[in-house]
């Protein structure tokens, strides 16, 4: 929908100007007060995943969300079209700006993340770059955690500097490092927690405090946890984003991204970034995500249950040097994870004794688990971060963030955990 107050000719510099005023700096209590108007307020999150924000298709009463597979929308008459363009009347115009199937996904995501509004993108990277471009102009900087998905690191370290936007990557496990890196040109704090692939956990509330004191937004990549296990907006973050390709879709059949924040931020992101840069999600992909959300709760519970069993099995295996899973009491940030996450998710990373060769042997020997990048699918996936997803990091950077040559990442699927453990066991036996 084009909203009444949206200035359609909004330009990038205008979008940038007053942003600090538009964020949600509320604590959890205030957020839930705002949401208490909602009919579904007493339902648990598993129920909310299935029933969402409620409502049926307004045009037909269809219970399943329809796929509005159209690029454009007819205007009632010329005046109505002109009024919609002026922002004086609500209505759909063109699917690069908005579409009812996209809107259905966005409203479910806003609801589950406890934000005011959401905006879907064609990929997680489109969502991340869109947020950074919305907040920074040439000459600005932002402070980011240093352990990130390799594509995010590449964007921050290699691509954004071409527009004179500097990312200052720091070890955000100690939030003091964030404070130290902030200066007058810092426009946002960006964190990924738990981090891909080391599973390090960052204290969201501590980062939100720093953001609030500096009057800049905290942006959290919540891909690994999903709103089912972690809701950063209720912990003081201003923007939460996802690679919806992963657990939100859940079936490994869609590339997508989504951003959740205040209505004002999202309206401006839509009209200033999505409309102009064009990284729009297709109606079919939006529909796959709406469908994915219906089973988010059961999938996340099963991913977690399986991950726990696999992590415990690996932890005591003689050929494994170290297991990183936030649910293990041996995880260095276990207490922070306990504080801010309702559950620990389905991602594990571990170091294999015998270096890179031993890790390769393991990955080449699994039969049930698929050797592939991506994560969050119902099928289990295994990969080698240093040479695959995180090969965008320089060698010294990999060492600094703990992505060792013998680190293997496992996205634990929803298969029977005994089959997964058998598969890992036979593969580990092949390591000499
Ligand atoms: N954020 C996180 C935490 C990710 O893991 C990824 C992709 C992205 C953002 C980017 O999302 P996309 O554009 O791919 O939808 N992570 C991948 C990974 O670990 N393997 O392949 C992709």
**What CATH number is attached to the domain comprising 420?**
3.90.1150.10
Residues assigned a catalytic role: 96, 149, 221, 246
Domain end call among 247, 273, 294: 294
User: What does the pLDDT look like over 305-346, one tens digit per residue?
Assistant: 999 999 999 999 999 999 999 999 999 999 999 999 999 999
- Whether 116 is in the pocket of ligand 1, judged by its Cβ within 6 Å, is no
Query: How far apart are the C-alpha atoms of 97 and 99, rounded to whole Å?
Result: 7
Residue-number span of the structural domain to which 276 is assigned: 13-294
Nearest to 153 by CA among 381, 426, 357, 385: 385
Is there a domain that residue 229 lies in?
Answer: yes
- Whether 345 is in the pocket of ligand 1, judged by its Cβ within 6 Å, is no
Is there a domain that residue 212 lies in?
Answer: yes
- Residue 22 clears pLDDT 60, i.e. is over it: no
Query: How far apart are the C-alpha atoms of 214 and 183, rounded to whole Å?
Result: 9
Reported as type and span, the H/E element at residue 28 is helix 28-35
Residue 285 shares a structural domain with residue 302: no
- Whether 240 is in the pocket of ligand 1, judged by its Cβ within 6 Å, is no
Nearest to 359 by CA among 258, 261, 281, 428: 428
- Whether 221 is in the pocket of ligand 1, judged by its Cβ within 6 Å, is yes
Domain end call among 294, 317, 339: 294
User: What does the pLDDT look like over 136-172, one tens digit per residue?
Assistant: 999 999 999 999 999 999 999 999 999 999 999 999 9
pLDDT score of 396: 97
Domain end call among 263, 294, 325: 294
- Whether 392 is in the pocket of ligand 1, judged by its Cβ within 6 Å, is no
**Phi, psi (5° rounding) for residue 347?**
-105, 135
Token duo for residue 78: 């010329």
108 SS3 class: helix
Is there a domain that residue 6 lies in?
Answer: no
Query: How far apart are the C-alpha atoms of 424 and 431, rounded to whole Å?
Result: 11
Residue 106 shares a structural domain with residue 155: yes
Residue 289 shares a structural domain with residue 193: yes
Residue 281 shares a structural domain with residue 151: yes
Q: Which residue has the tokens 């869609």?
A: 254
Q: What is the CATH number of the domain that holds 221?
A: 3.40.640.10
Indicate the number of domains in the chain.
2
- Residue 20 clears pLDDT 60, i.e. is over it: no
Is there a domain that residue 5 lies in?
Answer: no
* Number of Cβ within a 10 Å radius of residue 4: 10
3-state secondary structure 231-252: CHHHHCCCEEEEECCCCCCCCC
Nearest to 411 by CA among 373, 363, 367: 373
Q: Which residue has the tokens 């709406």?
A: 290
- Residue 12 clears pLDDT 50, i.e. is over it: no
Residue 249 shares a structural domain with residue 337: no
* C-alpha 255 to ligand 1 mean position (Å): 9
pLDDT score of 325: 98
* C-alpha 393 to ligand 1 mean position (Å): 15
User: What does the pLDDT look like over 201-241, one tens digit per residue?
Assistant: 999 999 999 999 999 999 999 999 999 999 999 999 999 99
Query: How far apart are the C-alpha atoms of 378 and 245, rounded to whole Å?
Result: 12
Q: Which ligand 1 atom is nearest residue 257's CA? A: 15
- Stated pTM of the model: 0.92
Split at pLDDT 50, 70, 90, the class of 55 is confident
Query: How far apart are the C-alpha atoms of 258 and 320, rounded to whole Å?
Result: 36
Looking at the DSSP assignment, which residues form a beta bridge with residue 118?
260
- Residue 54 clears pLDDT 50, i.e. is over it: yes
Burial grade of 263 (CB within 10 A; 0-12, 13-18, 19 or more): middle
> Where do the DSSP E strands lie in 75-199?
117-121, 141-145, 166-170, 186-192
Is there a domain that residue 7 lies in?
Answer: no
* C-alpha 92 to ligand 1 mean position (Å): 30
pLDDT score of 27: 30
Residue 337 shares a structural domain with residue 273: no
* C-alpha 282 to ligand 1 mean position (Å): 18
Given ligand 1 and candidates 246, 252, 255, 403, which is best to mutate, with the most ligand atoms within 8 Å of its CB? 246
């Amino acid at each position: 929908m084009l909203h009444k107050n949206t200035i359609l000719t909004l330009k990038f510099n205008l979008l940038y100007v007053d942003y600090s005023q538009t964020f949600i700096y509320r604590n959890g209590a205030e957020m839930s007060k705002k949401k208490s108007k909602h009919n579904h307020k007493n339902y648990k999150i598993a129920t909310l995943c299935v029933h969402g924000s409620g409502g049926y298709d307004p045009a037909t009463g269809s219970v399943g969300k329809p796929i509005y597979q159209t690029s454009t929308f007819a205007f009632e008459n010329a005046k109505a079209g002109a009024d919609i363009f002026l922002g004086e009347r609500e209505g759909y115009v063109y699917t690069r700006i908005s579409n009812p199937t996209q809107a259905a996904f966005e409203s479910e995501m806003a609801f589950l993340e406890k934000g005011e509004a959401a905006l879907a993108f064609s990929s997680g990277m489109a969502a991340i770059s869109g947020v950074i471009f919305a907040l920074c102009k040439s000459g600005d900087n932002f402070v980011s955690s240093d352990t990130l998905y390799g594509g995010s690191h590449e964007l921050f370290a290699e691509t954004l500097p071409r527009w004179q936007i500097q990312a200052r990557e720091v070890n955000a496990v100690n939030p003091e490092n964030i404070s130290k890196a902030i200066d007058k040109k810092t426009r946002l704090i960006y964190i990924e927690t738990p981090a891909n692939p080391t599973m390090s956990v960052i204290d969201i509330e501590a980062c939100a405090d720093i953001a609030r004191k500096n009057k800049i937004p905290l942006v959290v990549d919540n891909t690994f946890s999903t709103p089912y296990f972690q809701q950063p907006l209720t912990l003081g973050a201003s923007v939460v984003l996802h690679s919806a390709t992963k657990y939100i879709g859940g079936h490994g059949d869609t590339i997508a991204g989504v951003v959740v924040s205040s209505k004002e931020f999202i309206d401006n992101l839509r009209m200033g970034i999505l409309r102009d840069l064009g990284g729009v999600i297709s109606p079919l992909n939006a529909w796959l995500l709406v469908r994915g959300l219906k089973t988010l709760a059961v999938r996340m519970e099963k991913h977690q249950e399986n991950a726990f069993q696999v992590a415990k099995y690996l932890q005591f295996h003689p050929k494994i040097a170290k297991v990183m899973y936030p649910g293990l009491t041996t995880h260095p940030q276990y207490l922070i994870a306990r504080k801010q996450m309702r559950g620990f998710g389905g991602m594990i990373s571990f170091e294999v004794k015998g270096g890179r060769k031993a890790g390769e042997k393991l990955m080449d020997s699994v039969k049930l688990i698929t050797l592939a990048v991506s994560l969050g699918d119902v099928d289990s996936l295994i990969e080698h971060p240093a040479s695959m997803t995180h090969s965008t990091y320089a060698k010294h950077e990999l060492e600094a963030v703990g992505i060792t040559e013998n680190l293997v990442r496992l996205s634990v699927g929803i298969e029977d955990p005994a089959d997964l453990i058998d598969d890992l066991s036979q593969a580990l036996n092949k390591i000499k």
